[in-house]
Structure 1
Amino acid sequence: MELETTRFGKIEIKEDEMILFNQGLYGFKNEKKFVILKEEESDFFWLQSSTNSDLAFIVTEPWNYIKYYEFDLNDELQKELNISSKEDVMVINIITVPENPKEMTINLKAPIVINYKERLAKQIILDDERYQIKHRLFYDENNKQVADNA
């Protein structure tokens, strides 16, 4: 199928590449279908809506930058997403890129959990004070590097 996007123009995707968010994303409850657009050599990729050509989020797998990041998937979420093996799970987090890219932040508070095999996903909110909505990806407030690979 052909998908019209604001950032990438027309792109061809397969129906089985779609990821279904039964409850949408926070702030975008009506947006239920997305596709991941990834370049081979980058830690960053796009979560592009299939119904809204303007809606795309820069995302990354958190462990590329935050090695200590961890949380448990409760039984309810595992059932909702038909998760039977941890190998089927992909976790991504939304990135915010301000005018100064050194000030990029990652939303550690609300990760997106994807059952890549079943193409089902849900954004969850973690009840863990260590994780913030705007965690500096590369630098802390004193401009010291905090990412393991920065």
Structure 2
Amino acid sequence: MKITTTRFGEIEVAPEEIVEFSEGLLGFEDAHRFVILNTQDGGPFRWLQCLDKGDLAFVIIEPLQFMFAYDLEISDADVEFLGVQAVEDIVLYAIVTIPDNPRDMTANLQGPLVINVKTRRGRQIISNNPAHSLKTSILAAMEDRARRLAAAAQPPADAPASTDSPKKEGRG
């Protein structure tokens, strides 16, 4: 099917690419069918383009692309609604807000998008985790993630020095 959008012009969307948000998104309850589009640079950001309203599109990102950890509790009702059979069926996205200064961009971790990649059903849920903010700084979280990953890659200070020479085993 061909869809006309204000941001991308006319795009071709295969039926198996459509993600159905039957309840819509918060503030956009009448927008139900979406497609996820990659950015031209292949970076971590993507577009969630509404097929019902060509002028409605959101920048989205997977939280673990910029955060060290993102623990989201998904209710049994949400799991059932989405038809989830295995955790591998789920992909999480956060809607990104980009102000005039892109360094100040934020992600909504309190209202993530949960998508079952097999059934192509999606739902925006509300996280009750107080650590999940409506406006999480993506740049600050990326810097924190980089520090933590670098620290995790360093051997502990009290670890013995590694030697590359083979050890001889004797018989007792």
The TM-score normalised by the length of structure 1 is: 0.92
CA contact (8 A) 1:61 1:93 kept: yes
Local SS of the residue matching 2:110: coil
In the alignment, what sits opposite 2:23?
Answer: 23
Partner Cα separation in structure 1 for residue 137 and residue 104 of structure 2? 6
Any gaps of 5 or more consecutive residues in structure 1? Answer: none
> Is the 1:103–1:139 contact (alpha carbons within 8 Å) kept by the matching residues of 2?
no
Structure 2 segments unaligned to the other structure (5+ residues) = 148-172
In 2, distance between residues paired with 1:149 and 1:26?
Answer: 32
User: Scaled by the length of structure 2, what TM-score is found?
Assistant: 0.81
Amino acid in the other structure paired with 1:88: D
Q: What is the aligned residue count? A: 146
SS state at 1:78 partner: helix
Aligned to 1:5: 5
Equivalent in the alignment of 2:121: 120
Distance, in Å, in 2 between the alignment partners of 1:78 and 1:139 is: 31
User: Is this contact kept in 2: 1:4–1:11, CA < 8 A?
Assistant: yes
Partner of 1:108: 109
Aligned to 1:57: 58
The alpha-carbon deviation at position 139 of structure 1 amounts to 3.1
Q: Which residue number corresponds to residue 148 of structure 1?
A: 145
Equivalent pair of 2:3/2:13 in contact (CA under 8 Å) = yes
Q: Which runs of 4+ in 1 moved over 3 A?
A: none
- The amino acid across from 1:148 in the alignment is R
SS in 1 for 2:111: coil
- RMSD, aligned α-carbons: 1.6
Aligned-pair distance for 1:91? Answer: 0.3
Q: Which structure dedicates a bigger proportion of its chain to helix? A: 2
Residue 109 of structure 2 aligns to a residue whose secondary structure is coil
Secondary structure at 1:30's aligned position in 2?
coil
Tell me the distance in 2 between the aligned counterparts of 1:146 and 1:123: 27
Shift of 1:146: 3.7
Instruction: Report the Cα distance in structure 2 between the residues aligned to 1:98 and 1:9, rounded to whole angstroms.
Output: 23
In the alignment, the residues of structure 2 paired with residue 6 and residue 149 of structure 1 have an alpha-carbon distance, to the nearest angstrom, of 36
State the alpha-carbon separation in 2 of the partners of residues 19 and 27 from structure 1. 18
Match of 1:88 in 2: 89
Alignment partners' CA distance in 1, 2:46 and 2:25? 17
Q: Judge conservation of contact 2:37–2:46 (CA < 8 Å) in 1.
A: yes
Is 1:35 the counterpart of 2:32? The answer is no
